[in-house]
Structure 1
Amino acid sequence: MIAMMLSRGSKTLVALHRHHLQLQCGQWGWWSRRWLVKVRLKWVKNRGFDHIIDRDTDIKAACLLKDAIAAAPSGLLPARSLARFQKNLGLTVPVLRFLRRYPTLFRELPHPRFPSLPAFSLAPAALLLHRRESETFQAALPEDAAHRLARLLMMARSRALPLSAIFPLRYDLGLPPDFPSALAATRSDLFRLSRRPTDGAFILSLSSWPDHLAFSALQLRHRDALAQPSYRDFKKPSVSSAAPLAFPMRFPRGYGSMKKVKAWMEDFHHLPYVSPYEDASGIDPDSDLMEKHVVGVLHELLSLTIHKKTKRNYIRSLREELGLPHRFTRVFTRYPGIFYLSLKCKTTTVVLREGYQSGKLVDPHPLSLVRDKFFYVMRTGLLYRGKGMTKLVLEEDDLFGEGNCREEQKEQIAIDNEEQDGVYGDDVGFDDEDVDASDNDDDECYELDDSDDEDGSDNG
């Protein structure tokens, strides 16, 4: 009888049946079962996000090459040493061609000892930007950068990570080039640098557990949204008392069977939220609760990044420590309202949708503002080539103002997708400029094979 009524879609009986199972199986035994409907969604291309990734790839390469030149004793980078940078920069063009493309940042001149060998130094605009970036690092190092890195270590099972796994995320987390020694010296209360006994590799671990940092971005968002007296003394939730928190959603347009998608997301949001900083070892790895926990871990990791995005391979190097499943890419394609997966620039990049609004970061970090000026200088050099230096305004107050990049902003707005706010959960909308969408009920989910290794072993 129960089976017949369940097949007829009786919501009351479903609720009673689930409550009965919860009483039988204990507090978390209920969540050891899978109830979420498997909704198949079609991957939809987003031109706005792809443009951002294309632009930021060049900015990152320029910043890393700038750091390499600045760190050289002579201030010169010979052309014969460029090959070692090619893989780590993620460029689709040779490094030599990339350097010559932006004369406002990199100045080409003969090598002092070998005149036939070209070498590159930093142009005045690059020196100015490097100084401003260094000032931003110094201002953010004691608190912001240290807290981002500490939260990453807090999510790791062993509370420690090898430097080889952290270095690829250095640029995304907004860490200075010398962060291991700098943080170990200035924040010995948080970090400890040591060698792993097995292979002698350097590892960075937590010296102590900072309770005040054990809150995820989603928890802080809900605390600020509630803003009620009863929530002023925000207590750290435990697994046993975790409340169901809703992830902000922004779906692409054109999805078929939206009623199924909304019903699926409603069930997903009603699952208890287990913080990435909580011990999740007691949760069934095949349960829906664990799936939501994995979504929370990936959401928090992307929230820690400056630009709310990173490469898939960088996450893969942290997979075991973060407790992610082997084929974790399926999580990105299964929850397109939270994440966007891009194949731009011959790599796989994951973007946190809620981090952007109309093609701009919702909460830009001071370091991201400095990096935006790199793009202004690069774009000027690309447009005007040899005359680019005469078009730049090199005074600090003008260069870092908003008046010099109006054309860039107009171009960005023309390409980026305009979004409209919706009302579903906490924050759900639909992207207006997504293409290749359809309203067919038979849309298939675009899914990447985790064995694919487009990025190789990026360390940039």
Structure 2
Amino acid sequence: MMLKTRTLPLLSLQPLKWDLGLPDSFEKTLIPKYPQFFQLVKASNGVSCLRLVKWCDEFAVSALQKSNEKKGCENEYVEFKRGQKALVFPMRFPRGYGAQKKVRAWMEEFHKLPYISPYVDCKNIDPNSDLMEKRVVGVLHEFLSLTIHKKTKRNYLRSLREELNLSHKFTRIFTRYPGIFYLSLKCKTTTVTLREGYQSGKLVDPHPIARHRDKFYHVMQTGLLYRAKGNLRSEEDVLMLDNVAKDEAGNVDSEEEVETSDEFCEDEVSETDEMSE
């Protein structure tokens, strides 16, 4: 629904299966169940694509809009819907960065700009304007909000750049707005994360799929430890199963930690972007 042609090549969607919680062979198992929404088509170059058949207004509401609506700020949200007020992105800056006066002034001006929903057509917006930049921030914010772990690899977004109406050097947005996004360069892989999705290295609102993945990881790790010791005792099995049962009763599992070091260099990341682009 965020794409300008409402059509996406399956090759661009395949790498995102894990991040979006899609099953293997989703084009054969999931899509045929919803013919009223999706259709598999062939592009002019013979590439298989997924096309949106029916537009639903109830789904064309961004995560930022939903969060502001749930906060109980009814008057503010009504003002936004009337075009009298702009929505503010939640921000959590690296230590010392957000305290700088020029950064605060810049962010205040940024927040005053109208919020452009990623589901709204943007063809009439000047591509070089500040308004378009805020729209790009909104698109990337919404995309990351839709992922299971609120993060994805930067290269996965490159294949969607044209369809999402992103600029050629859109990855610089991540370093220009470190209060919204966080870049991790671990293992020579650039991963972009939504800062508001994490607190103390854990997901703030874990998706059910994220909970199941964490339980599976715990079971596999525990089994490997016992096998290495050569003593897979029934007592420990029972204890492990009890812990999983407690998790299902509502305990929040520990999630994969996000690198929260603030010691990254914006210039260094920008140079990396230029080399890769």
Q: Give the whole-Å Cα distance in 1 for the aligned partners of 2:109 and 2:80.
A: 24
C-alpha change, 1:386 and 1:268, in structure 2 (3 Å) is: same
Q: What pairs up with 1:91-102 in 2 under 5 angstroms?
A: none
Moved segments of 4+, more than 2 Å: 181-184, 226-231, 234-238, 254-257, 377-389, 391-403, 433-437, 443-454
Q: What pairs up with 1:54-453 in 2 under 5 angstroms?
A: 154-196=1-43, 198-228=44-74, 241=83, 243-255=85-97, 258-387=100-229, 390=232, 393=237, 398=242, 400-402=244-246, 434-436=261-263, 445-448=267-270, 449-453=272-276
8 Å CA contact 1:381–1:389 kept in 2: the answer is no
Q: Give the whole-Å Cα distance in 2 for the aligned partners of 1:237 and 1:283.
A: 19
Identity, in percent, stands at 55
Greater Rg over alpha carbons, structure: 1
Q: Give the whole-Å Cα distance in 1 for the aligned partners of 2:66 and 2:2.
A: 16
Q: Give the whole-Å Cα distance in 1 for the aligned partners of 2:208 and 2:95.
A: 32
Report the number of matched residues: 271
Q: For 2:122, what is the secondary structure of its paired residue?
A: coil
Task: Please report how far the alpha carbon of residue 308 of structure 1 lies from its aligned counterpart in structure 2 after TM superposition.
Answer: 0.1
C-alpha change, 1:246 and 1:264, in structure 2 (3 Å) is: same
Paired position in structure 2 for 1:110: none
Task: Please report how far the alpha carbon of residue 387 of structure 1 lies from its aligned counterpart in structure 2 after TM superposition.
Answer: 3.9
Q: Give the whole-Å Cα distance in 2 for the aligned partners of 1:235 and 1:165.
A: 38
Task: Please report how far the alpha carbon of residue 289 of structure 1 lies from its aligned counterpart in structure 2 after TM superposition.
Answer: 0.3
TM-score by length of 2: 0.85
Amino acid at match of 2:136: V
Amino acid at match of 1:246: V
Task: Please report how far the alpha carbon of residue 207 of structure 1 lies from its aligned counterpart in structure 2 after TM superposition.
Answer: 0.7
TM-score by length of 1: 0.53
8 Å CA contact 1:307–1:361 kept in 2: the answer is yes
- Greater RCO (Cα-Cα under 8 Å, separation 6 or more): 1
C-alpha change, 1:256 and 1:373, in structure 2 (3 Å) is: closer
Q: Give the whole-Å Cα distance in 2 for the aligned partners of 1:310 and 1:260.
A: 30
Q: Give the whole-Å Cα distance in 1 for the aligned partners of 2:75 and 2:96.
A: 41
Residue deviations 1:110-138 (CA, integer Å, cap 9, x gap):
xxxxxxxxxxxxxxxxxxxxxxxxxxxxx
Q: For 2:15, what is the secondary structure of its paired residue?
A: helix
RMSD of aligned residue pairs (Cα, Å): 3.3
Structure 1: 5+ residue runs without aligned partners?
1-153, 418-432, 438-442, 455-460
Task: Please report how far the alpha carbon of residue 345 of structure 1 lies from its aligned counterpart in structure 2 after TM superposition.
Answer: 1.9
Amino acid at match of 1:314: Y
8 Å CA contact 1:302–1:309 kept in 2: the answer is yes
Q: Give the whole-Å Cα distance in 1 for the aligned partners of 2:36 and 2:156.
A: 27
Task: Please report how far the alpha carbon of residue 180 of structure 1 lies from its aligned counterpart in structure 2 after TM superposition.
Answer: 1.5
Task: Please report how far the alpha carbon of residue 362 of structure 1 lies from its aligned counterpart in structure 2 after TM superposition.
Answer: 0.9
C-alpha change, 1:379 and 1:184, in structure 2 (3 Å) is: closer
Structure 2: 5+ residue runs without aligned partners?
none
C-alpha change, 1:295 and 1:256, in structure 2 (3 Å) is: closer
Task: Please report how far the alpha carbon of residue 359 of structure 1 lies from its aligned counterpart in structure 2 after TM superposition.
Answer: 1.4
Amino acid at match of 1:293: R
Paired position in structure 2 for 1:18: none
